[in-house]
Amino acid sequence: MAVEQLLAHIPALRRYARLLAGDAARADDLVQDTLERACRKWSLWRPGTTLRPWLLSIMHNLHANQRRDWHLDDGHASLDDLPERPDPAAPAGVRLDLERALAALPAGQRAVLLLVAVEEYSYAEAAQILQVPIGTVMSRLHRGREALRQQLSPPAAGAQIVNLPRMKR
């Protein structure tokens, strides 16, 4: 195993883990667990294929397993209960709104959005990483984008909900 190959992917792994986990400490643990698992399972990686999707697939599976285990174990808080630690590069209001909106998405939609929009993987690559059909990726991406749009769009000024009487046929 070439350690240099793994080291080159750590920044991308940290970025994806941070957005996936929503907490810097848990993200760092997830990256470490991913690299540890990759080292143990190095013989399963097919030379000649791209390493990053394989690592992201390991990370996604570890994260899904950890979420399941945390929800089953009453002694741990769920990821939704963790405090948010914003990225210092974005303006505070936008950053917090986006992180909250991402955290509110179902895990499947959030994972697809992060892979396609942030990591810039194709639909086919995201489907391979998540081990789901490409149609599922497209559907989750559409629903996730719509949910983000609704959560992040400002309410129309002066907009009121008006209950109109139903028309009889």
Cα–Cα distance for residue pair 85/89, rounded to 1 Å: 12
Residue 138 pLDDT more than 90? yes
- CA torsion sign, 100 to 101 to 103 to 104? positive
Domain ranges in the chain are 1-85, 88-152
Q: What is the pTM of this model?
A: 0.60
> Region 148-154: what's the mean pLDDT?
84
- Given a contact cutoff of 8 angstroms between Cβ atoms, the answer to whether 82 and 26 are in contact is yes
Q: What is the pLDDT of residue 42?
A: 85
Give me the CATH code for the 88-152 domain, please. Answer: 1.10.10.10
Of 143 and 1, the one with more pLDDT: 143
Q: How many residues does the chain have?
A: 169
User: What three-state secondary structure class fits 61?
Assistant: helix
Task: State pLDDT tens for residues 21-33.
Answer: 877 888 899 999 9
Which one of 1.10.10, 1.20.950, 1.10.575, 1.10.1740 gives the CATH number of domain 1-85?
1.10.1740
Work out the mean pLDDT of the chain and round it to a whole number. Answer: 77
